[in-house]
Structure 1
Amino acid sequence: MYKLPLLLILTIFSAILSGVANGQDLKVGYMDISRVLKDAPQSELARKTLKQEFNPRDQKIVTMQKNLKKLSDRQERDAKLMSKADNIKLERQIVSLKRDIKRAKEEFNEDFNLRRNEELAKLHKLINKTTVSIAKKLKYDIILSDNVLYNSERVDITDMVITELKKLKSSSNNTIKKSN
């Protein structure tokens, strides 16, 4: 199952090492994607955008839950005082509201996950573009990211990527301010 990817990796490294053996220098870099995702200003902007976009729906669900609590409390408190018909009517309202809340939560989670994945894909694309730009500018032969057991600070370009993303963020803010 893992033979093909392993074979591909070994082939790539043997090609790289053969170049090194021929006297060519190999410049390798490492970028910590999880740290970039955490520290990039675009990540915070995406989080704020999602929160702003989904907060009204979240508040609607909270309101529905409060209404359910009121109905449930009323049923517990007044069940013995209510007529059987009123009790059944209240029970149906509670069941219906529970169903509506469940449906609203499921739709909310599905829509939120879709939008979060869209924002994450945009962010990954920007990070990759920025990383490639830095790699070309500094003449790196290869940039590694995930599944690296160890890397020295000498090859770590994570801070450079974050700094470049901050520059992109501030230049996009300046462009927005100039256009207003």
Structure 2
Amino acid sequence: MLTGTFSKHVMCATALAAALFTGIAHAQEARIAAVNSDRILRESVAAQSAQKKLEGEFAKRDKELQGMAQKLKSMSDELDKNGTTMSVSDRAQKQRDLSALDTDFQRKQREFREDLNQRRNEELAAVLERANKVIKQIAEQQHYDLIVQEAVYVSPRIDITDQVLKALAATSNGGTN
């Protein structure tokens, strides 16, 4: 009886080992690639186009803020230069005006940054969505089993970022935005 139980254990162990080796053999045949998302967001035509779009969209407000900053500086310089010769009431009024303009400037500057960041996030999300569609197409066409976007290290042998950048450029030039 002991030998019968022992042989069953050996057979189970052998079957388990065979299954593990089969799994390892299949895993070694898996096609894996990697994409550098940061490069996509820096170098792709779509990302550069989004950046230009944002610059155009926010140029007027940025110019207004620069004008306000210049006005603040000139008011502050004038107060520093002429403050000692002004009457107390004039100096107090100039300080109130300067303080009010500074408060307004800081509020507008904060709103500008918030709006710009929100729009930038929207544009970059759209770029990543397009990139993910291209990556999926590449995976299906070239029969990849796994494509990762975040990794500590990626061998240049499996990095397909250049391929994704070219495919994104082709879709941008083809008019499918």
TM (norm. structure 1) is 0.81
Distance 2:106 2:114 in 1: 12
State the partner residue of 1:162. 165
In the alignment, is the contact (CA less than 8 A) between 1:42 and 1:123 conserved in 2? yes
Q: Report how far residue 19 of structure 1 moved.
A: 4.0
Uncovered stretches (5+) of structure 1, i.e. residues with no partner = 1-16
Matched, 1:43 2:43: no
Cα deviations by residue, 1:126-172 (Å, 9 ceiling, x for unpaired): 11110010010000000012124232x33221111011011011111
Q: Report how far residue 50 of structure 1 moved.
A: 0.7
TM (norm. structure 2) is 0.82
Uncovered stretches (5+) of structure 2, i.e. residues with no partner = 1-20
How many aligned residue pairs are there?
Answer: 157
State the partner residue of 1:141. 145
Paired-residue identity, %: 33
In the alignment, is the contact (CA less than 8 A) between 1:41 and 1:166 conserved in 2? yes
Q: Larger Cα Rg: Structure 1 or Structure 2?
A: 2
In the alignment, is the contact (CA less than 8 A) between 1:130 and 1:164 conserved in 2? yes
Matched, 1:27 2:31: yes
Distance 2:123 2:169 in 1: 17
Q: Report how far residue 25 of structure 1 moved.
A: 2.3
The one-letter amino acid of 2:167's match is E
- Report the aligned-residue RMSD: 2.0
SS, match of residue 76 in structure 2: helix
